[in-house]
Every structure is written in structure tokens, then in C-alpha cells.
Amino acid sequence: MSMAFDIYAKSLSKSGFGLPMWCPEPSLETGEIRLGDVGIMRDGIFVCLFNTLVPADDPINARRGVPEGFEPIDSLYMNQTSSITQQLLYSSGIESIDGTSSGYGCASGAQQGWGRCGGPATCQITHSRRRIADYMHRHLCSWMAFAYHQLGLKVREQELLFISGTAKTTSWLNVAFSKGDSKGVLSIRRDGGELSGGGELRVSMSEATNSSVFARAGPASTPGAGSEELPANQCIFVNYFRVKKRAWRSVIMKAAAGAHQLDYPPDDDPSPLRTFNLESESTSDLEVCLGPRAA
């Protein structure tokens, strides 16, 4: 059975905004997702290992440390827009019923995703692709050694992501559901009325058999917060660079097809656990490719 985070990412990746995040909220340890973060995806959560835009002694990097020989990347060209203005995003197998925002018809035998953001999402992206590619080639071996030796993580080279774009908003509601044997009706409601309110979230699927529905909403309400304005630190999409094995010695940069290519290493795969020697390791058989990017 597919996991909710995988269904959601696959369903909405065709929106053109990047990799959809099932868990957009900031990490309790490293805070919100930032440009220049290097990390991995685990169960729909981006786990930041370190940030390449700040020095080693910056609070973002000081807690876990940084790879041997760490040096921040040279300045990147940034572009910031408010390109996601629609509040509702959903996959092609979903359609609104009578124009409402809480009832949707869903195709049978499909896995679908539905997302709502609390307001326009601010998109920030860097176009310094060559600089990022060169930087990753120079430092990838030290990153892998850091992940394995210092953090004890089991990762492949292809799993390390360099965050090159983010889309952030103030609040969100994510829904994913999997196969039903017949067409169904998805109901998304909150106690007290508006979906953007703070009432209890209620999501259900009717008129369909053998279906599963999953939902998450955020940010979590803080007691006594009142009506304070929420910060736009909830990251609903990311764009990234990663490396992959060269195919037929090709040096052409290719765009990743989507979230389903972020494979996780099996528990019995010994290759990610090899010892990394910074003097002998080479990245000559790897190429840097661009992941999902903003439209």
C-alpha cells in the first residue's frame, strides 16, 4: 500500500511548482526549509543536515556540525515572486461538486492529492545552476562522509538534495487518498465552518469502496496565540538539485521526472554503508541534475 506522503507528492508534482511537501511545517531542530539546505527526504519530511549559505558557526549549522572542509557556497542569484495565488490545488482525477470548496468528486481506481494554502505562496528560487552543480561535485564526498560517520545516516549519493527553491505560505491543508473500486465523494470540513478556521478537521470518503483517506493541517495552533498574524514559514513546495549515476557517460543535465524518483535505500542494501575516504572517493561517475522546478 502506498504511503500518504508518496501519494500526495506523486499526485501534485504535475502542478509545475516543484516537489509537493506532505509535511510543510518547520523542523523543531533546524527550523523552516531554506535555500541552500542540504538534506534528505524521509517519510514526507525534509531532514536538513546543514545549510550551505551560512558559515559553520551559524546557529543553523552549529547544532549538528558541518562536513570536513566545509565552505559556504558563493553568492547565488535569487528571484522571489508570489506565483502561487490559487488557494486550492488538486490532481486531475478530482473535480469540485457544485462549485463548493468542501465537496469533490473523485475518479475510481486512482490515487489523488488535494492541497489548500491559507494565502498566496511566496516562491523563492535560485537560477545559479552551474555554480550549484560545480559546488556539489567538489563537496559531495565530504557530505557523504559527514552523513555516514558524523550523523550515522544510511543514505545514497542520489538521496542528498540541495534545495534551490521554496514556496511558502502561512497555513495549509493536505489530503491524500488511495484506490477505490468506484467513484467517490470526498468531503473536507472543519467544525465551525471555514476550512481556514481552527476547528477540528473532518475528512471522509463516501460512495466508494476499498478507499483510504489521509489528511494533515498546519500549523498546529498555539494556546493563547489569539488572532496574531501567522508567519509565512510553511514550505508547501521545494525545488532541488541532486546527483545521479551517469547514463552512457552522458554529461547532459536532465530534469528529474518527479517525486517517485526519490527512492529510499532498502534495509538490506549494503552500498550506502561503505566507508567514505575523502582522498580516494570520486564523483566522476555522477552528474548533477535539476529536480522539479517552479513553472
Whole-structure pTM value: 0.79
- Other Cβ atoms less than 10 A from the Cβ of 75: the count is 10
Whether residue 168 is contained in a domain is answered as yes
What pLDDT score was predicted for residue 250?
34
- Say if 295 falls within a structural domain: no
Q: Kindly state whether residue 126 falls inside one of the protein's structural domains.
A: yes
Q: How many angstroms separate the CA atoms of 13 and 21, rounded?
A: 10
What residue numbers bound the domain in which 155 lies?
A: 4-220+229-290
Please give the backbone phi and psi of residue 254, each rounded to the nearest 5 degrees, phi first: -125, 145
Q: What are 105's strand-pairing partners? A: 95, 185
Identify whether 59 is part of a domain.
Answer: yes
Residue 214: how many other CB atoms lie within 10 Å: 17
Q: What does the block give as the cell for 86? A: 490559487
Element (DSSP H or E) covering residue 234: strand 234-245
Count of domains in the chain? Answer: 1
Q: Is 124 domain-assigned?
A: yes
* Helix count and strand count (H, E) for the chain: 3, 16
At 239 the pLDDT is 93
Confidence at residue 227, expressed as pLDDT on a 0 to 100 scale: 52
CB 38, CB 48: distance < 8 Å: yes
Enumerate residue ranges in the chain where pLDDT < 70: 1, 82, 93-110, 179-211, 221-227, 245-286, 292-295
Type and span of the H or E element at 1: none
pLDDT at 267: 41
